[in-house]
Structure formats: structure tokens, C-alpha cells
Amino acid sequence: MKSKGIDYHFIGSLDDIAYVLNIRANDVQCNPVVISYLLVSENSCNLYIDKSKLSQEVADYLKENNISIKAYEVIARDISDIEAKKTLYLETKKTNVAVYSSIGRGVNVVTGLNLTSIMKCHKNEIEIKNTKNAFIKDGVALVRYLNWLETGVSTGTITEMIASEKLLEFRKQQDLFIEDSFESISAYGANASMPHYKPSHEHPVKVEPRGLYLIDSGGHYLDGTTDITRTVALGELKPEEIYHYTLVLKAHIALMEAKFLEGTNGGYLDAFTRYNLWKQRINFNHGTGHGVGHVLNVHEGPQRIGTAGNEYPMEVGMVTSDEPGIYISGSHGIRIESIMVCVKDEMTEFGQFLKFDNLTVVPIDTRPVDKSLMSEEEITWLNDYNKMCYEKLSPYLSGHDLEYLREQCKEI
């Protein structure tokens, strides 16, 4: 703040407040944040919050760190008290009208990304180490779930919603699990062609032993946040499903394997991903990748991989999703999503190159793959990836689950 000549920094985004104070809460479903505002100056840091939400432990911790607690409602008054000629910094997209319109005349307002967002998106070594652990636990839950699903579909009793609830049960069995990181998209057949589909008990849809099933879900654990999509074959597939699945997989691998110069933004990375689809004149209408919070919001900026809104470059320590898809309305939908962390690659005479490390540990189904459409490198990537999953997950699985894992990780 000092180097930027900022006297006051207003923070209105809940994940930023949770990050900078290192507190978590449960005010918002699937987002472990607390409804609050933060106003920081050189000599003060005020947290505007309903006091009754603070446990004694948190209240003491905040006091020790010289954080003053104020009533949630007085934020506008305190903003209006900022004297003329002082510089107030805020992010417009994350500031509501009531707060913004209470800024007094003569205050110098400077806008930009919340300074905390820039700190928050670069995960430190401990966050990354812990996140890797959370992904192994999540992988164990997913493999148990998929085995349960594939075994159960033949009974004709599993609906998309029953399946979704079962997955939560498997996650709850894992150490340090808190809650889902968003509402699971458990979608069978044609329903998977809606990328943001929401299953319900009111409209039960039976999952049957044929075609493709898509599960996009995630969890918060005390050591990290996950977000994963896998599409699996539950039986016989149409040639079109195999063709599209293979293309999505090629797109997924292309981004995962990208090497790019420091300073590259998500627009370029999006092109790496869509290349294989556009070559076939196919597209999908959602982003390719979003930042993932650390025990915070599963969608986090400022980096983004997509066709628009990717001003911020991809940088070392950023945790981002890789989730291309193909959606054929009324027929089928495919998405393959893993989370990756940006790391340094080689330094050459042309500059510093960056790449991604995969964090997600759940086998990618090989049954819907048409090998003849894959390059040698892509096949090797797929086999290596599934082998890694077997090595990391097998110590935690036994019996039928282990057998299922072995089968899913077999080389093609």
C-alpha cells in the first residue's frame, strides 16, 4: 500500500478477507467465508462483521493481531469519514453501490485488483504441498464412488441425485473434509450436454448401464480445495461419443502439456486447448480454466483461461483448472477436468518458460478412447497419468475398489 501511495484499502470480497486474516467460516454454502468488510490503513485494520459469529478463539486471535472489530452496518459511515485528499484503493467489481456512493468528496479513489487477490492467487509451498494431499484423498473418494456407481447401475435403482449424495458420503469419509466446494453436476446421457446441469429429486433421472455419465464435483478439506470432472462409459457407446470423448481428451492433454513464455495470458492458453476442437470445427461455450482457491472459493481470479477476460498472465504458483468439453444437445456431453499448478520450465536464450504440474489424481477413463485419433505422445501421456494415479491411490484402496482402480489404470 505504501509503495502505491495508498492510505486506505477497502476490501469487499469475502474470500480476500478470509485469506488476508487467515479465518474461515460457513456463511455461504460451499464457500468457507464470512460476510464482512475490511478497511485497512497504515495504522488500523477494521473488520466489519456480526460479532456473534466470532468464537472466543478467533476473537482473541484477531485482537492479538490488532484487528478491530466493528459492526457490519457501520462500514458506509467509516468510508464516508475518510478525509478529502486521502487515497482510497478498491476493486470496483468487488465493491457494492452502498459503499461506493458513501465515499466523500475530494477523496482520491484509485481502482485496481484487490492487493490481496494478487497475493492469494500465488499459492505458497505449504499450500501446494497440502493441496496435493487433499487431491489424493479426493482421488480415493472418487475411485470408490465410480466403482460403486458402475457396480450399481445394473440394479436400475441409481438416479443422478442418489449418485451425487453418495459421492458426498465418500468424501465425508476422508480426513479433514469440510464440505462440497460447489453443487455436484451429476449428469447422465443427454443431461450432460448442459454444462451447468443441476440434478434434482423432483425430476429423478435413472443412470443406466449404457452411454456416458459425467460427474463434476469438488470438496473443501482443511488442507485444500478440489474440483474435478470425469466422464465415464457405463456400457455401450455410440461412435460419436467415442469420437468426441477422444477430442476432449486431446484438448485436455494439450493444455496440461503446454510450455509457454513467462507473461503469457489465458487467451493464448485457451488456443492451445481449443486447437484440436477447432480443427474439427467444434467448440464449447464455457471457460477452459479458472483459478481455484485454497480452502476458499472454487472459482478464483484473477487468472483465467478462456476466449475473453484473460488480462492477467499465468504465473508460477497459480492453481488453475483444465476443463475442455463437447456438448451435443439432446445426445451427450463430455468434460474432462483436472487442476494444475503453474511451475517454472526451462530458461532458454528466449526467456523463462513455464508449464503446468497436474494435481488431480483420478484415472481418466480409457474405454471411450479411439487410439487411432491420438498421437504417440498423447497415448504416452494418458498411460503415464493413469499409472501415476495407480501408484498414488493404490495404498489407500483395497478389495473391489483396488481391482477397479487397477482396471481403470491399465495401459492402452
Q: How far is the CB of 341 from Mn ion (least distance, A)?
A: 15
Q: How far is the CB of 298 from Mn ion (least distance, A)?
A: 7
For residue 87, the SS3 value is strand
Q: How far is the CB of 320 from Mn ion (least distance, A)?
A: 10
Which residues sit opposite 159 in a β-bridge? Answer: 206
351-389 burial code (b ≥16 CB/10 A, e <16): eebbbbebbbbbbbbbebbeeebbeeebbebbeebbeeb
Q: Which residue has the cell 477497502?
A: 10
Peptide bond between residue 302 and the one before it cis (omega within 30 degrees of 0): yes
214-246 burial code (b ≥16 CB/10 A, e <16): bbbbbbbbebbbbbbbbbbbbeebeeebbbbbb
Instruction: For Mn ion, give the closer residue by CB, 223 or 300.
Output: 300
Residues that bind Mn ion (CB under 5 A): 227, 321
Instruction: For Mn ion, give the closer residue by CB, 322 or 365.
Output: 322
- Beta carbons within 10 angstroms of residue 24's beta carbon: 17
Q: How far is the CB of 290 from Mn ion (least distance, A)?
A: 6
Instruction: For Mn ion, give the closer residue by CB, 249 or 374.
Output: 249
Q: Please answer whether residues 322 and 229 qualify as being in contact, where contact means their C-beta atoms are separated by less than 8 angstroms.
A: no
Instruction: For Mn ion, give the closer residue by CB, 7 or 227.
Output: 227
Alpha helices in 350-398 (DSSP H): 376-393
Instruction: For Mn ion, give the closer residue by CB, 36 or 193.
Output: 193
Q: How far is the CB of 321 from Mn ion (least distance, A)?
A: 4
Q: How far is the CB of 337 from Mn ion (least distance, A)?
A: 5
Strands 185-188 and 87-90 come out as unpaired
Instruction: For Mn ion, give the closer residue by CB, 336 or 382.
Output: 336
Distance CA 364, CA 381 (A): 11
Q: How far is the CB of 148 from Mn ion (least distance, A)?
A: 23
Instruction: For Mn ion, give the closer residue by CB, 70 or 132.
Output: 132
Distance CA 300, CA 298 (A): 6
Q: How far is the CB of 117 from Mn ion (least distance, A)?
A: 18
Instruction: For Mn ion, give the closer residue by CB, 98 or 308.
Output: 308
Closest CA to 248 of 317, 335, 314, 332: 335
Q: If residue 131 lies in a helix (H) or strand (E), which one and from where to where?
A: helix 125-152
Which residues sit opposite 97 in a β-bridge? Answer: none
Instruction: For Mn ion, give the closer residue by CB, 162 or 194.
Output: 194
Query: In angstroms, what CA-CA distances link 171 with 24, 143, 405?
Result: 20, 11, 17
Q: How far is the CB of 231 from Mn ion (least distance, A)?
A: 14
Instruction: For Mn ion, give the closer residue by CB, 340 or 393.
Output: 340
- In the 8-state DSSP scheme, what is residue 31? B
- Beta carbons within 10 angstroms of residue 26's beta carbon: 13
Q: How far is the CB of 251 from Mn ion (least distance, A)?
A: 15
For residue 342, the SS3 value is strand
